[in-house]
Structure 1
Amino acid sequence: MKQTTIYLPEEIEASLQELAKKRGNSISELIEEVIDDYLIKTSQKLPNSMGMGASGRSNLSSKAEQLLLTED
């Protein structure tokens, strides 16, 4: 494991100390857990259906009425 230094506002550090005491963990363990959860969450792939209905038009909301009334 590699040691890393981070700078936190005093109120966040105090909250971490309180939480660590309640859970019986160290602050380092809490920070590691949060970072790990974040990395897992942000690296998850989006479903294949994402973007499937993309129209390619960037102005749909401003021209909704006009577009609904036009015939193709």
Structure 2
Amino acid sequence: MQTKTVSLQDTLNQNLEQLAQQTGRSIDELIQEALELYLAQQAKPMPRSMGIGASGMKNLARRTEELLWTED
């Protein structure tokens, strides 16, 4: 295992210390778990279908009824 040094904002550090005390876990343990969860989430690829139906219309959601019921 390697050691890393990070700088935390005061509030984040206080919240981390408080959570460690409440849960009886070490700060190292909490940081390791948080990083593992974050990295696992980032590694998930976007579905290939994302953006496939992009219309380019910025107001599409507001105009659904109007657009659905217009005749060509």
Q: Quote the offset at 1:61 in angstroms.
A: 2.5
Q: What amino acid maps onto 1:61 in structure 2?
A: K
2:17 paired residue number: 17
TM-score by length of 1: 0.70
2:37 paired residue number: 37
Could you tell me how far apart the structure 2 residues matched to 1:13 and 1:24 are?
16
Could you tell me how far apart the structure 1 residues matched to 2:17 and 2:2 are?
21
Moved over 2 A (4+): none
Among the aligned pairs, what percent are the same residue?
37
Identify unmatched segments of 5+ residues in structure 2: none
Alignment coverage as a number of residue pairs: 63
Identify unmatched segments of 5+ residues in structure 1: none
Could you tell me how far apart the structure 2 residues matched to 1:39 and 1:48 are?
20
TM-score by length of 2: 0.70
